[in-house]
Amino acid sequence: MKILVLNCGSSSLKYQVIDMDTRNPIAKGLIERIGLQGSVFAHCAGSLKKEVFKTEIENHTKAIELVLQQLVNPECGTLKDLNEIYAIGHRVVHGGEKFAKSVIINDSVMKALDECIELAPLHNPPNIAGIKACQKIMPGIPQVAVFDTAFHQTMRPYSYIYGLPYEYYEKYGIRKYGFHGTSHKYVSQRASVLLKKPLGELKLISCHLGNGASIAAIRGGKSIETSMGFTPLDGLLMGTRSGALDPAIVTYIMRKENLNAEQMNDFLNTKCGALGVSGISSDFRDIEVSASHGNIRAQLALDIFEHDVKQYIGAYAAVMGGADALIFTAGVGENSTSMRAAICKNLSYLGIHLDMEKNMVRGEEVDVSKTNSRCRVLVIPTNEELMIALDTLELTR
């Protein structure tokens, strides 16, 4: 049984075809620069090496048509016929309060998705465009929406309501939503398998540390707190995003630099974080190299990141009354041995004892804590596509 997973960004499309019997992708790829000059289409199928095409792709419908053509291309040998695709799972960034779970897409879901555009004006429109394109090209195939926000809908009001007049929550939907939910859900399920304990009995702190980064406190399989907020700008210092700030800084910079609301939003999302502090790059690999050569601002960016993560770990252990495991995932979490070591240093009061030798792994699912570590430390490569495919299969079977 094969599931097509689509992740439509504003000018990009990521896809995978997953064979649900083996749970492995049999084809995957990425189209970039959709609607811009010189679109690039990279496709990988089975043992086939990556093929890259340069072409013009004006919109998501055209992009999906090209992907489907490639999937039935006999040279790639992925599918004989498009009817082999059992269902399609779409990543949708924002489900607001309407969606606490993945859903089969129908007319009323489409209407609700339109209503969520206001909350994620950059992300939801391309997600919706991808769904509409599939409805047009493959009308008979069931489609499922899987939301980044859904997993965090279990938070209690004292976690998600901000210190603003309550009417702003009612009128504008201003509250903490949280993101990366598909990743936090996936790694928490894997943690339960690795620890051989039911999710319902576990207190987990899940650290999704990538270009975008967030931490979640997961008790009994439910998200009870997370670091991203109304938007993905909140919480940790990230590659290019500021993370949490004194809110008064926003208007102060707007006045000093003569920026309007749009420009300020763009500034906070693209020019800040590790890039802004280091002045070098948003990429943690570049920053680690610079820091190792003695660049003080690169080291400062790393120190802030580590310090931020540590503070959330302490906070989330406090709200859950301890933790059974600390999970590291996403680019930095899965690969940066030095960042994991720095974060876990001096956390013995929480029962966290990292095994320096075991910690030398990158991108593997492994327990990297010492045998006496009361709180286990797990490296778990995330797999949002598989999680989307599993939800899609469960809802459509």
Q: Where along the sequence are the contacts to ligand ADP (CB under 6 A)?
A: 210-212, 239, 283-285, 288, 330-332, 335-336, 362
Look up residue 355 and give its amino acid. D
Nearer to ligand ADP, 97 or 283 (CB): 283
Write down the least CB distance from residue 89 to ligand ADP, Å: 18
Nearer to ligand ADP, 87 or 302 (CB): 302
Tokens representing 187? Answer: 């790694």
Write down the least CB distance from residue 356 to ligand ADP, Å: 16
Nearer to ligand ADP, 9 or 175 (CB): 9
Are the C-beta atoms of 116 and 59 separated by less than 8 Å? no
How many angstroms separate the Cα of 260 from the Cα of each of 58, 240, 263, 385, 397?
31, 19, 5, 37, 49
Nearer to ligand ADP, 272 or 332 (CB): 332
Residue 324: active-site member: no
Write down the least CB distance from residue 367 to ligand ADP, Å: 20
- Residues 6 or more apart whose Cβ sits within 8 Å of residue 141: 85, 86, 87, 88, 134
Cα–Cα distance measured from residue 239 to residue 263, given in angstroms and rounded to the nearest whole number: 18
Nearer to ligand ADP, 288 or 324 (CB): 288
- Residues 6 or more apart whose Cβ sits within 8 Å of residue 353: 369, 370, 372, 373
Nearer to ligand ADP, 295 or 396 (CB): 295
**Helical H segments across the chain, by residue range:** 60-71, 107-115, 124-137, 157-160, 166-172, 181-195, 248-257, 261-270, 273-278, 284-292, 296-320, 330-335, 337-344, 384-396
Give buried/exposed letters for 252-264 (b at 16+ CB in 10 A, else e): eeeeeeebeeeee
- Residues 6 or more apart whose Cβ sits within 8 Å of residue 357: none
Write down the least CB distance from residue 211 to ligand ADP, Å: 3
Are the C-beta atoms of 238 and 301 separated by less than 8 Å? no
Write down the least CB distance from residue 103 to ligand ADP, Å: 24
Instruction: Write down the catalytic residue from 19, 21, 114, 148.
Output: 148
Residue nearest to ligand ADP (CB): 331
Write down the least CB distance from residue 200 to ligand ADP, Å: 28
Tell me whether residue 65 is exposed, middle or buried, using C-beta atoms within 10 angstroms of its C-beta: 0 to 12, 13 to 18, 19 or more.
Answer: middle
Residues classed as catalytic = 148
